[in-house]
Structure 1
Amino acid sequence: MSGQSNVGNSGVYEAGDQRNYKDSEIKQAQEEKRFHEGKEHSHLAQDSKDERSIANKLEREKRREDEPDNNLTEEDRASQLDPTLPAKLHGNEPSKGAKIDAELQAEEEEELRRKGKA
């Protein structure tokens, strides 16, 4: 007889999932959800189904060209300079891929220097 009190069992007092809401309460809850539906950055710049006007797209691209890359982390900036640098900053040995990337980057820079002088 666990769960029973002196005045009856607990099932009498607990609603569980047997709640009946008024239509006005349901409408209000849906409206509150809709208020938060729109998310920042929800438009994808390259989305062909995006309904932004061409003028808006051009304005956005112009603003993107003007703004600096402030969203890059310290590691991202370091990896642009040298692919092995982030691992070295953390005190680790660079991965094989990072070493290969560094070699390729050095070869490309050398070739550009050679072509520039030739």
Structure 2
Amino acid sequence: MSGQSNVGNSGVYEAGDQRNYKDSEIKQAQEEARFHEGKQNSHLAQDSKDERSIANKLEREAKREKEPENQLSEEDRASQLDSTLPAKLHGNEPSKGAKIDQQLKEEEDEELRRKGKK
């Protein structure tokens, strides 16, 4: 019976159930958690349960008035030209759906040209 305690033999604890982390590992984990805490643009402007102050809401509306409404991102403009272009810009192969979309778009454009409407 030597090597046994009242709660079991020592093999139960061999897997390292009690882990001692370095202070640097704990600090790094906290920083990573803090990084993912708040997301930009996470507030909904019309949300009645939003806890932003009135001053913050007024500031946001003032900024919104200055922004042009039809401003498209570079990816949006690229996808209007070619459905596969955004993926190519990121160095990826376009998805099957994007390839099919582009093929259909080209077929429709060709048919419109043939009919003389474009």
| Same structural fold, with TM-score higher than 0.5 when normalized by the shorter chain | no
Q: Give the shorter-chain TM-score range.
A: 0.3 to 0.5
- Provide the TM-score with structure 2 as the length reference: 0.42
- Provide the TM-score with structure 1 as the length reference: 0.42
